A and B are shown apart, each in its own frame.
Chain A
Amino acid sequence: MKANPRNVNTGIYYIDGDVASGQGALAAGCRFIGGYPITPSTEAAEAFAKIAPKAGAVFIQMEDELASIASVIGASCAGVKTMTITSGPGYSLMMETIGFGAMLETPFVILNIQRGGPSTGAPTKTGQADMMQSRWGSHGDYEIIAIAPESPQELFDYTIKAFNLAEKYRCPVMIMADECVGHMTEKVVIPKADEIEIEPRRFYNGPRDKYLPFKPDKDLVPKMVKAGDGYKLYITGHTHDEKGYPILTQNSKVKTQKSTTRRLVDKIKLNADKIIELKEENTDDADVVVVSYGISSRVAVRGIEKAREKGIKVGSLRLVTVWPFPDKKITELAKKVKAFVVPEINYGQVVFDVERCSHGEANVILIPHGGAGVHHPDDILSAIEYASKENKKIEGIIEHKTKLEKLIFEEGYKLKE
């Protein structure tokens, strides 16, 4: 399906990432955003509030993030495409309801412009420390999809992709951008409506009395109906059977709990190959591969260039979709390469999965960064240099400190006896 021209403000713009994401949401057919102002994501809400009414979409500023996310799931149940916009602290508040959304299998998108944490942290500075939270934040077993864009143009494009994935797999989709990308102003091209591919909602259109809200299709994803269409929906956050009814008897509770959570996990895991998008460069002959995402991947480009100038065979693997994690790809690369270098603006999150998937066959080097800034390309270069020289297999994750960090904590913290 193509996008509705009414929603697409075709043109060439010079806008920041947040605004681009607002435009992307509208182009993807978003009809409802419930949001709450929080730096550095506010501009996206403002942009959407400005463009939405003319296209018939609604923006409402709710009283808090708890309400934003609940209203977003409600609107999704009413049959429209929805999104919410937030950052660190707001994201933490949303966690309970994200799990609820995953259980209900309502499609919705969360734009999280990550900032420095924990708590209030550094609101106007960047961070990438919500990556694990996006995956494991709510209680219980479920899987989500997370995308990490690296430029305003990508925030536009991948917001549309996020909506498409959410509709296709009926799960929460997180756009895990960071403050740098959100506040970066660049050229953004919004194409014509007929060049934008949109995934329509999986509506059920069989006989009314045969409808089962949680009966999965072949790809493990069930079909939806709108509230108010006379289906007498019964939707609950309890473990439920295909009818949507909560399970009360002890025996079937065990069985249904297993089958429900299994499907919530498997519908993403088994479809992972279709979901995952990676950008791979020069990995064929590489000794070292830089695995990165978000703004870090943009910084890494320069570090890789410099390393190549020095004759080091280095490739790049950019995780566009961070979750589900590209297990197979990393395992496959680990057999060929000496080491992975993972620059992250946190003290190690995605790197754990890189280490897990490399199965000890390649060294894994983390370049941690405390946030409120990005890596210097030289930090990445020095890590690559170290990685290419290190011939020994070293167990676990090797920390390679940035220059700045070495300057500040020369010796690092040590426990005193």
Chain B
Amino acid sequence: MATLKTKSNELIHPMEHLLRMDRIPHIWCPGCGIGTAVTAFASALEKSKIDLDKVCIVSGIGCTGRVAGYVKLDSFHTTHGRAIAFATGITLGNPDLKVVVFSGDGDLISIGGNHFIHAARRNINMLVICVNNFIYAMTGGQVAPTTPLSAYATTSPFGCVEPPFNIPYIADSSGAVYVARWTALHIRRLTNSMAEALNKPGFSVIEVISPCAMYYSRINKLGDGLDMMKFYHDNSEIKHGEDTKNLDIGFQTKITVGKFVDRERPTYTESYKKWLSEIKRKK
């Protein structure tokens, strides 16, 4: 994307029309991967040719929870964990809207885990972008359900004792129609994935593995954001269509990325309409 110029020859950011520039600078730390995910999302919005007036973005609480506040769509910053439930309401209230839930691992999988599996089961029409930085960063580095075994966090000062979730597997098993995982390094592929998922009806999940330089890397002594990017570069492996059960992430182990699931299933609204017409016919 080239740098844009206004009529008065002023330099503007190429994504200015998609971001709330009046809220910039953002709150994310140097080396964080959330900004990358937002850039990829903004590019995907353009690439997908979707009507921007018909896209809503919903976030929960946390670092990634702030995304809704920086994207110039109809944005909703909801309570902790309830982003998906809130988005379910939007999409059922007005099925013409495409709802994007952009939130973190703690928000979506920990406290919002139930909404996540249920929305997947119902196949609600929404795109869930889950930025996974392996930790609760907003509150200062607590253990998350995605923290790899034996990694350190402030509430697991002697190493994490709980195995992490395999987010693609749980999404797949609950019934998501599109599941992909990328790291913050795979910007182009991430953008393509997002663009593809934006045009796909049904419950799509894209997990974005993101560095957290301030907490996860610092507590575990993994260097800064750049070091994490180098790590992703050396240790991520693209395997499209891999069985989701093989996607566990250990502490500093190989990360399998790719598009794992892309299937068709009637969405909630579709089944609802079909069922309604059946009932009407019966009567």
- Residue ranges of A at the interface with B (Cβ–Cβ < 8 Å): 35-39, 42, 45-46, 49-50, 53, 59, 61, 63-65, 89, 119-120
Contacts and interface: CB of A to CB of B under 8 A. Distances in A.
A119 B86 CA distance: 14
Given A46-B142, A120-B80, 13 more contacts: A36-B110, A36-B111, A37-B155, A39-B138, A39-B140, A42-B140, A42-B155, A46-B140, A49-B156, A61-B142, A65-B111, A89-B79, A120-B79
B140 to A, nearest CB: 6
Most chain-B CB neighbours within 10 Å: which of A37, A38, A42, A63?
A37
B128 to A, nearest CB: 18
Contacts of B80: 38, 89, 120
Nearest to B138: A39
28 contacts: A35-B155, A36-B110, A36-B111, A37-B140, A37-B142, A37-B155, A38-B80, A38-B139, A39-B138, A39-B139, A42-B139, A42-B142, A45-B155, A46-B142, A49-B154, A49-B156, A50-B157, A59-B155, A61-B155, A61-B156, A63-B110, A63-B145, A64-B81, A64-B110, A89-B80, A119-B79, A120-B61, A120-B79
Given A37-B139, A61-B142, A63-B145, A46 B79 contact: no
Interface in B7-47: none
Range for the number of chain B residues in contact with chain A: 20 to 34
A264 B106 CA distance: 37
Q: Please report whether the interface of chain A is mostly helix, strand, loop or mixed according to DSSP.
A: mixed
A366 to B, nearest CB: 29
B108 to A, nearest CB: 12
Q: Please report whether the interface of chain B is mostly helix, strand, loop or mixed according to DSSP.
A: loop
A54 to B, nearest CB: 10
A129 to B, nearest CB: 16
Nearest to A62: B110
Contact of A49 (B106, B111, B140, B157): B157
B155 A46 contact: yes
A50 B159 CA distance: 11
Nearest to B161: A60
Given A39-B139, A119-B79, A63 B155 contact: no
Nearest to B61: A120
A414 to B, nearest CB: 30
